[in-house]
Chain A
């Protein structure tokens, strides 16, 4: 992507954590959303507790966006390291705005226009304090790209409402100084690239906020959790807002206690959830199996980060899929879902509650750091048209005949909550008969295992999940892509780019990952000759599932760089596969994955 797209803008702002970079990017995001733009962002988090490099990229467009963009039109950098680390992310013809104090020789590339801006000096001389450096940057960018100033001031006033008057005055001084500087010293032809759009104002939120809101919309009663990056914001949002809507929140001593609390609340008949990341999901796996065995609903969000072990705590990865699908001893059925966008993070959580409750088993929702922390626009009507589902307590005909684990057509048995007179019964993690009493003979275990798994088959046929996968691209294409989670964004753009270059390609992105949506996948795979599976993991976890389920060869594209795919990385793979279409076989799997992980892009 070498040219700036019409009515589209990608900005990258980089510096040291604590310099207020996120405030700049977030303010511009909010104002753009109020103007009716669609937007998507990406930010990195330093691994250090205080300080460390920090960057946020913000892309806005008149059409919906689910990818923060491969390359930036402009890079604003506060220090030398920020320039070096981000210079390659500038598109050809892009501009670099950098701190004029930097003395070291700067990287150069033909077609990049560089403008030194004395942020430091203006901050000290005109705004009177160094802290307003970021406000100067905000003013410079706003002026350069023709953002309306009033809404920015309004937004800052809202943001700093609780702070002293002096803070806002300083902010205003900095903002004006930045605007003034840009008017005097920077070219004015960029401002034409953004036009005010007629679209309705939109909301801006992160994937984590959307997930937490989704839980509230689904009627969450109880949340139990233990903090872990990058999922903590879900917990923090619910700590603040769940009590406000009448629910209950408990920070537990670890993730085992958290899922135990979820289990207890679910048994008591309440809607309960937890949110965690890979290390927490690992700890939860024993009780996940208990939930499968005692047939209780639960929703667990796993915002994935680089693993194994503590891995890359602040970076993104999609490497918990197999843990989510299989992680527990024994045959422990559960539902696994993966939203692809911020909006879907909300919708998929609601669906997870509906399915978990209907099929009486845990549902794991896989997000990832990039999706969890990225800001994206969503429509203001996001809470309408969500599935409604009343609590599913169902009493047997007469108490004496009540069987909690009764064998039925779908495998789903009538669920009665403690406190109901006459229906006293036991739930146990031991294998049990229909009444819930321990019984381990070979037939009971066979029949009950089948019963519990039958529910997955019924779920796969449920209208709630039909048509849930995204399908796009050239229908007749022989090259197909199957991807999951937030990789959806770059895949949509790679497919568009390939088609524009005359390479027919199509894609399917399932949101339901367990059980896999066989109907949709089989039809898609039947008409696909070459299947590319891009994933942010090393071993190709979805590819593994697809190969073992459908016995098809896959062409893997694996990246574990801790950042989302660029669309061009996927495009290059499509081109390569299209070129080798004449050859009979894809390259050997292993070599390919080693090559991919050597870092070439």
Chain B
């Protein structure tokens, strides 16, 4: 894992393409926080595999000098799981929006959490569908009028970090685009964590959700966690607090990763070493 330079610069990680996000979009800040984390971790570019779905936030891989896979809406997580299972050498990071990750792709989160692949999942939560220009998302607050809920929204709003905790993700954190330094630190910890790291990132949409994330109001409610809660109930309580928006790490525990589990199964199956395909024919005689 040699890097060309001892101390990679921010520029070392910038991709060929310029971001296409709207001026004032919170995603710029997430990009900066990620690159800062990659720089600090001195990740070799060619070892980074960025996988995303569809959405504004899913454009993320285009702007980083790395291997990128921009797939279809909602499937970034299972695609990334395939990448990591098949090639454990790669540092796999996923970028997804709240619609991508919790609506259309919501069914994958419990299972990937359960499998615990060593993947870092950046969930960009802007509480709106950005790319499709302003429809409700599963995290839209019920009082938010959108293009598809002009008279108000049906259904409760989802809490991403709370869900990830309940699903058993081994690393769960919440950060905010507006707190870039802190976010960078969380991403660094997430990548270092061996297992599935879920990072909810509160970000803003400067075009379609200006009201909800009126920055000053939200800023007032943000409360950094001093330390990672010791037990799950406390973590769940803090993650679901409606008065404060707690930022920080809610859980950081160790469990065998998907690749470790796979390796174990391979060893169990090969009591006396690997088997040649030809020898399997005996069973059909």
* A residues neighboring B (CB under 8 Å): 33-34, 201, 203-205, 209, 213, 216-217, 221-222, 224, 240-241, 243-246, 248-250, 252-254, 256-257, 260-270, 272, 286-287, 290, 294, 378, 380, 382-383, 417-430, 435, 437-438
Contact = CB atoms under 8 A, between A and B. Distances in A.
Given A248-B86, A420-B46, A263 B67 contact: no
B51 to A, nearest CB: 7
A177 to B, nearest CB: 28
Interface string B57-82: 00001100111111110010011111
A383 B71 contact: no
Interface in B102-127: 107-108, 110-111, 115
**Max count, chain B CB within 10 A of own CB: residue among A205, A250, A272:** A250
A215 to B, nearest CB: 10
A382 B277 CA distance: 12
Contacts of A257: 75, 78, 81, 108, 111
B110 to A, nearest CB: 8
A217 B70 CA distance: 32
Specify which of A201, A241, A243, A252 lies most central, judged by the most chain B CB atoms within 10 Å of its CB.
A243
B277 A270 contact: no
A263 B275 CA distance: 27
Given A264-B78, A264-B79, A426-B68, A418 B86 contact: no
Nearest to A383: B278
B281 interface: yes
Given A256-B75, A419-B47, A264 B83 contact: yes
Interface string B256-282: 001000100110111000111110110
Given A253-B107, A261-B79, A424 B277 contact: no
B87 A290 contact: no
A300 B47 CA distance: 29
Nearest to A202: B285
A558 to B, nearest CB: 35
B69 A427 contact: yes
Nearest to A289: B72
Contacts of A268: 49, 82-83, 86-87, 90
7 contacts: A244-B280, A246-B266, A253-B111, A260-B79, A260-B81, A265-B86, A268-B87
Contacts of A270: 86-87
Give the most central of A262, A269, A382, A429: most B CB within 10 Å: A429
B97 interface: no
A209 B277 CA distance: 13
Contacts of B67: 418-419, 424-426
A34 B110 CA distance: 49
B68 A244 contact: no
A428 B78 CA distance: 16
A251 to B, nearest CB: 10
Nearest to B81: A261
Nearest to A423: B46
Q: Is the interface of A mostly helix, strand, loop or mixed?
A: mixed
A591 B16 CA distance: 62
A419 B265 contact: no
A51 B54 CA distance: 47
A248 B85 contact: yes
Interface of B: 15-17, 44-47, 49, 51, 54, 61-62, 65-72, 75, 78-87, 89-90, 107-108, 110-111, 115, 258, 262, 265-266, 268-270, 274-278, 280-281, 284-285
Contacts of B110: 253
Nearest to A215: B277
Contact of B269 (A216, A221, A243, A417): A243
Given A267-B82, A418-B83, A437-B16, 11 more contacts: A216-B277, A243-B265, A243-B266, A253-B110, A260-B75, A260-B79, A268-B87, A417-B87, A418-B87, A419-B90, A426-B15
Contacts of A420: 46
A405 to B, nearest CB: 14
A246 B180 CA distance: 43
A203 B285 contact: yes
B164 to A, nearest CB: 16
A252 B270 CA distance: 23
A34 B285 contact: yes
Contact of A418 (B75, B90, B115): B90
Contacts of B89: 419
Contact of B72 (A245, A290, A438): A290
Contacts of A269: 86-87
Closest 3 A/B residue pairs (Cβ): A264-B82, A261-B82, A260-B78
A382 B281 contact: yes
B221 to A, nearest CB: 35
Nearest to B82: A264
A131 B81 CA distance: 47
A252 B285 contact: no
Contacts of A265: 82-83, 85-87
Contacts of A34: 285
- Kindly name the residue among B17, B54, B85, B107 whose own CB sees the greatest number of chain A CB atoms within 10 A: B85
A426 B59 CA distance: 11
A460 B131 CA distance: 40
Nearest to A246: B274
Contact of A203 (B68, B80, B262, B281): B281
A375 to B, nearest CB: 10
Contacts of A382: 281
Contact of B46 (A201, A261, A267, A418): A418
A8 B69 CA distance: 57
A244 B72 contact: no
Contacts of A421: 44-46
Nearest to A34: B285
Nearest to B269: A243
Contacts of A213: 277, 280-281
A253 B85 contact: no
Nearest to B89: A419
A245 B49 contact: no
Contacts of B275: 241, 244-245
Given A203-B285, A382-B281, A383-B278, A427 B70 contact: yes
A264 B70 contact: no
A424 B108 contact: no
Contacts of A290: 71-72
